[in-house]
């Protein structure tokens, strides 16, 4: 399968071999974020996070950063159904407008592993069958897509 065939099946539509990805860790899993979706990576003190009690448990709260309020979503909770911030700081991947409805949302991860180009990643990572939401849970490396965060995450849970 060549790069153009991969990009036809890829949720990331660019067929560029120089496309850069940021690799992050979550427990024993590695998530691959397209660099085109990332505005910046932040380290936030846990004490600066304001809880939002009436939202899904995946929403850890929000934080004030550079004049904006950033909602924080736990990738651990999205993947495992549970999980809180451990330690005094949270590492946050802040999504940019290319992430669509998730623009300005911070995704809380365990750690940043580094970056890589598309041609150095497993080609099957970009197949629609190997996306984050696929039934296969034995994959240790997954492609992050904005659709990973369910739309019901933002609905009030109780009043």
Distance between CA atoms of residues 112 and 132, nearest Å: 18
Confidence at residue 114, expressed as pLDDT on a 0 to 100 scale: 96
Residue whose pair of structure tokens reads 């153009």 in the numeric block: 4
The one-digit pLDDT tens for each residue of the chain (159 residues) are 333 333 344 444 445 557 999 999 988 899 999 999 999 999 999 999 999 888 888 899 999 999 999 999 999 988 887 766 667 899 999 999 999 999 999 999 999 999 999 999 998 888 765 445 444 445 789 999 888 887 778 777 765
Domain ranges in the chain?
3-150
Cβ atoms within 10 Å of 55's Cβ, excluding its own: 19
CATH tag for 3-150 (out of 2.170.120.12, 2.60.40.1180, 2.40.50.180, 2.60.40.10): 2.40.50.180
């Amino acid at each position: 399968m060549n790069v153009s065939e991969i990009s036809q099946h890829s949720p990331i539509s660019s067929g560029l071999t120089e496309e850069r990805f940021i690799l992050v860790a979550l427990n024993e899993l590695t998530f691959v974020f397209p660099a085109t979706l990332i505005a910046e990576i932040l380290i936030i003190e846990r004490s600066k996070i304001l809880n939002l009690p009436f939202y899904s448990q995946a929403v850890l709260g929000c934080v004030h950063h550079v004049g904006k309020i950033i909602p924080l979503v736990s990738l651990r909770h999205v993947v495992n159904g549970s999980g809180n911030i451990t330690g005094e700081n949270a590492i946050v991947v802040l999504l940019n407008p290319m992430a669509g409805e998730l623009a300005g949302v911070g995704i809380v991860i365990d750690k940043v592993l580094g970056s890589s180009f598309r041609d150095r990643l497993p080609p099957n990572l970009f197949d629609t069958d190997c996306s984050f939401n696929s039934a296969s849970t034995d994959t240790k490396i997954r492609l992050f897509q904005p659709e990973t965060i369910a739309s019901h995450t933002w609905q009030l849970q109780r009043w």
